[in-house]
Amino acid sequence: MATSTPLLILLDLAALSVLVFGLYFRRYRRRDMVVAIAGINIGVVVVATALSSTDVTAGLGLGLFGVLSIIRLRSSELSQEEVAYYFSALALGLLAGFQIEPGWLTPALMATVLVVLYVVDHPSLFADHRHQTLQLGTAFIDESTLITHLEHTLNAQIMRAKVTKVDFVNDTTLVDVRYRMCPNQPVMSAGSQSMNSRTNNAIATDVSS
């Protein structure tokens, strides 16, 4: 496995710019994650380049990826979308750190990562689908009654509702809901969707009893 070249590093910087500024920051607006994504990418490029210049096996490279993959930011919780960007930055760094033959394969793989992220995380893809954890002001036992209540409260089609806790003392129900907005409901913008995705685990209190 050959050592990374300056051209590969420039390709990585270009791909990283698209990943961070063209895709992630435009959709999620988290400055701290911009630093994290850029830092992990550059760090992987440096380490992978150093390893590729010595007599190491491919297994060590895979082990490096495994070690880096368990790193989590403890300061704040990452959404599933942000985890995808985080791992994409890892992949781009590894591609730039190890020169692959034929030479066109590395830029092709980098482009594939960016194109897939652009498509699957596009705001218009499943834009009417939502996910929330709700705390309802009534202890529901019957599932059909719960579904009817959720559909009326959210004005949406309930795709999945999983009750995680029923409290008869305080008369509350904690439920994880996946639903689809009705056509007459406004579709959230990309910025609003990112804010909603970061608060999916927050408890929304249902004021209706």
> What phi and psi, each to the nearest 5 degrees, are found at residue 84?
-65, -45
Sorting pLDDT into bands at 50, 70 and 90, what band is 201? very low
Query: Would you state the pLDDT for residue 19?
Result: 96
Q: Which helix (H) or strand (E) holds 90?
A: helix 80-97
Query: Would you state the pLDDT for residue 15?
Result: 96
Task: Supply 192's token pair.
Answer: 């609003």
Q: Which helix (H) or strand (E) holds 178?
A: strand 172-181
Read off the pLDDT of residues 93-148 as tens digits, 9 standing for 90 and up.
989 988 788 888 999 999 999 999 999 999 999 989 999 999 999 999 999 999 99
d(CA 154, CA 136): 12
CA 116 from chain center: how many Å?
13
Q: Nearest CA to 4 among 40, 38, 39, 54? A: 54
Q: Is the pLDDT of residue 1 over 80?
A: no
d(CA 89, CA 86): 5
Read off the pLDDT of residues 46-73 as tens digits, 9 standing for 90 and up.
888 877 766 555 566 566 666 665 655 4
Q: What is the largest CA-CA distance in the chain?
A: 68
Read off the pLDDT of residues 68-96 as tens digits, 9 standing for 90 and up.
656 554 546 778 898 899 899 989 998 99
Q: What is the dihedral of CA 104, 110, 114, 116, to 10 degrees?
A: 80
Q: Is the pLDDT of residue 188 over 60?
A: no
